Structure 1
Amino acid sequence: MNQAEQPNAQTLADAFLAFNRMSAALESSYRDLEQRAAALAEELAATRSERLALADRLETLLATLPGAVLHIDGDGRIREANAAARVWFGGELTGQVWQRVLSVRGARLRGNELALADGRRVSMARRDLAQGDGCILLLTDVTEQRQLEEALERQQRLSAIGEMAAGLAHQIRTPLSAALLYAGQLGHARLDAARQARFRNKLVERLRHLERLVNDMLAFARGGEVAQGGFALQDLVATLAARSEAALAAAGACLRCRLPDALAEFVLPGSVDMLGAALANLVENALQAGADAIEVTAGDDAGFLILEVADNGPGIAEADRERVFEPFYTTRSEGTGLGLAVVRNTVEAHGGRIRVRPAETGARFEIRLPRAAAEPLPTDSTTGMAPLAAHTAGRLSQGAR
């Protein structure tokens, strides 16, 4: 070999050596990649198996849930429904319009509950899905719970009726016995005219007591029934005046009503007759307690009307303040024990509440009522009161003493 060929051979040998090293490195890298690919394939297979197992478990759970689950899309169609939903609403539901399913199956929506045609009651919960993909409905059978609640309510009503009947019998017995006694005395032939008149008056008084007791009982029973509508505050004052005028005149007492102008712009929802009767009941209660001056004031508190009825009578003992609204609870021998219970029922039926407020003298009742906006009523700038309210207050004050 000459000197020119020797470097070329060396170069070629170096090239082969480098090639062999690179081949070995590539082979090692390939084996590593194969191992990694195999590991990834195993992980992917394991993950797929877990996901399939999870999907099977979820499908089993949805199929065995005691409640119905439905997926409603943005167009109101049912995309998916579990077995309970298919049983409750009959047959295949996928692709049907949800509202049409309810209509065809005779289901009626009552708030968050459905009343199904077979008598079942179903509570419905809704969760919206992201990106406008509709919602998920979860329906739970609450039929047994509602039946238990209705049975408990019936039992409570029966218990209340039993207590009321017992209290009513006790309240009726005393005036009825007195009425029978006076009626028996009137049959005596030797009874003079003066005593006959006295016994007749006593008999009529006992019968009127019985009448008041029965009227209070009927009003208490009807306490939750409120006619729909609305009335102006000055109409309530007029109703109170009309109902209280005779009692005020007989007792020689006065009633003053102080109403701000701004409150004439609002109306109260409900029945003016019922609320007027409730206020008149407070007035009569004050008169029976010995008051001769009663004042009604009105105020506004965050969308509620605040009425206060205060008198200058003996007041209510602190121990009795929590019980005065209980049916048949009374501290007077002649009281029916239903007057203030009727007032509370009426106020609560109008969405309000009543309580006894502390007072230095006399009794003070606070009534809180919701109100609704109405057209402003004309006011008298000279008196600062609505015209009817001012007239009523003046007339009652003049004829009181």
Structure 2
Amino acid sequence: MWPALREVLRQGVEEAILALPSHRRARVRILGGGTRQVVVIQDQAELLRLAESLTQSRRTLDLLRAQAHEFRNTLHVLGGLLELGKVEEALRLIQGELGAEEHLEALLSHVELPLVAALLLGKVRRARELGVELEVEGILPFRFAPLAEVLVAAVGHLLENALEAVSNQPRGKVVVRFWEDKGLWLEVRDNGPGVPSGLSKVLFSPGVSGKGRDRGYGLALTRSQVEAYGGRLGYYREGEWTVFYAHFPEVLWAGA
């Protein structure tokens, strides 16, 4: 029995979040009492994966809807040009779309995790629909595949927040960046108005949001997911940029 569990049993609490000897976090529940206590230990990363799967389908649907909307608009314009006999303009439109796809492929060429690349593909198209410039920088090597699911969750939540923050900006811009330094770093920055000063100290608490009721759970869930893999999540303001970052120390998850 590791010391943290022994302390929970001594205190007589019914539920707690503990760090396992492997450094991963677990939800511990104490059932029964007296000499007939049952200890239930559930890996928090697995619990969070189940929670994320409930929202992943809706996020995927939103991305597909944005992509379908973009292509439908393009087809409408193309059809109108052809009907008006504007063949040259139609060809320029097609060439422009092909150029945009080539740019998109180059943008994601250094993201070697298929799940993350697919998410970014949808987000780039959603950003284009919102009139927001979205850039992807750095390299995400395939060796970080054990982090694929938590990266999809973190990138998805942070990017969606950033896109919302700049969607009404005249020159809205969002930058996603990956780099290695004692593990993997993820950074999502936007040139939006920033976090309201009254929320800065409680930003990662459940239900805290400046966007209205029934909002404010994304960042709390993202932090729990990142911490379940031994990482940390934070943010800071740098000039005109609001920067959210996640760091996954390799020593903590490499053996997972």
TM value normalised by structure 1? 0.35
Measure how far apart 1:323 and its partner are. 1.4
Inter-partner Cα distance in structure 2 for 1:324 and 1:234: 31
AA in 1 matched with 2:123 = S
1:307 and 2:183 matched: no
CA–CA distance in structure 2, aligned partners of residues 145 and 316 of structure 1: 37
Which residue is equivalent to 1:329?
Answer: 208
Q: Write the deviation string for residues 332-382 of structure 1: whole angstroms up to 9, x where unpaired.
A: 2266111111211111112110101222113111110133799xxxxxxxx
Q: Does 1:234 align with 2:59?
A: no
Instruction: Say whether 1:355 aligns with 2:237.
Output: no
Query: Secondary structure of 1:358's match?
Result: strand
> Which is higher, the Rg of structure 1 or of structure 2?
1
User: Structure 2: which 5+ runs fail to align?
Assistant: 18-26, 28-44, 53-109
1:223 maps to which of 48, 62, 70:
48
Aligned partners of 1:315, 1:296: CA distance in 2, in Å? 17
User: What are the within-5 Å matches in structure 2 for residues 164-179 of structure 1?
Assistant: none
- Within the candidate set 295, 307, 322, 2:175 is matched to 295
Answer whether contact 2:157 2:219 (CA < 8 A) is retained: yes
Change (3 A) 1:360 1:334: farther
Alignment of 1:284 with 2:195, yes or no, is no
Are residues 244 and 152 of structure 1, via their aligned partners in 2, closer, same or farther at CA, if it must alter by over 3 Å? same
Deviation at 1:285, TM superposition (A): 0.8
1:294 maps to a residue whose letter is V
Maintained 8 Å contact 1:233/1:268:
no
CA contact (8 A) 1:243 1:277 kept: no
* Contact 2:165 2:190 (C-alpha < 8 Å) held by counterparts: no
1:67-216 map, 5 Å = 110-111=1-2, 146=9, 148-151=11-14, 153=16
> Are the counterparts in 1 of residues 136 and 175 from structure 2 also a CA contact under 8 Å?
yes
Say whether the 8 Å CA contact 1:278–1:343 is kept in structure 2.
yes
Q: Provide closer, same or farther for how the CA distance between residues 224 and 241 of structure 1 changes in structure 2, counting only shifts above 3 A.
A: closer
Distance 1:340 1:354 in 2: 9
Task: Tell me, yes or no, if structure 1 residue 259 matches structure 2 residue 108.
Answer: no
Question: Number of residue pairs matched?
Answer: 165
Aligned partner of 1:148: which letter?
A: Q
> Matched residue of 2:209: which SS?
coil
- Equivalence for 1:100: none
Distance 1:112 1:243 in 2: 46
- 1:350 and 1:257 map into 2 onto residues whose CA distance is 23
User: Could you say what secondary structure the match of 2:212 adopts?
Assistant: coil
C-alpha spacing 1:147/1:226, structure 2 compared with 1 (3 Å): farther
One-letter amino acid of the structure 2 residue matched with residue 356 of structure 1: Y
> What is the aligned partner in structure 1 of residue 146 from structure 2?
269
Q: 1:364 aligns with which of 229, 233, 243?
A: 243
One-letter amino acid of the structure 2 residue matched with residue 267 of structure 1? F
- Residue segments in structure 1 that go unaligned for 5+ positions in a row: 1-109, 114-120, 122-141, 158-219, 375-401
The alpha-carbon distance between structure 1 residues 268 and 319, as it changes in their structure 2 partners (threshold 3 A), is farther
